[in-house]
């Protein structure tokens, strides 16, 4: 798979949610499960870049 754009996202728990901060585009999202983090982050950036979320690669960092 070729990713046209890669970005980083920092993830942490807050009040029972996984909070996703994407510093490169100044966006924050949340999701219920850790399994949803990658797709949620990629869908967020894809909406901003007007591309398919599958064209993106996310480097997910789980904060302590």
Q: What is the pLDDT of residues 1-48, one digit of tens each?
A: 445 789 999 999 999 999 999 999 999 999 999 999 999 999 999 999
Edge-to-edge order in the sheet of strand 17-22: 27-31, 17-22, 5-14, 56-62
Residue-range definition of the domain harbouring residue 18: 5-62
pLDDT for the residue 3: 55
Using the predicted structure, report yes or no on whether residue 52 has a pLDDT greater than 60: yes
* Overall domain count for the chain: 1
Which CATH number belongs to the domain containing residue 44 in this structure? 3.30.160.250
pTM: 0.90
The answer to whether 43 and 51 have CB atoms below 8 angstroms apart is no
């Amino acid at each position: 798979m070729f990713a046209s754009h890669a970005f980083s996202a920092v993830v942490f728990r807050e009040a029972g949610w996984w909070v996703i901060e994407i510093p490169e585009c100044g966006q924050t999202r949340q999701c219920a499960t850790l399994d949803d983090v990658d797709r949620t982050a990629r869908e967020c950036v894809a909406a901003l870049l007007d591309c398919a979320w599958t064209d993106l690669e996310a480097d997910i960092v789980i904060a302590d």
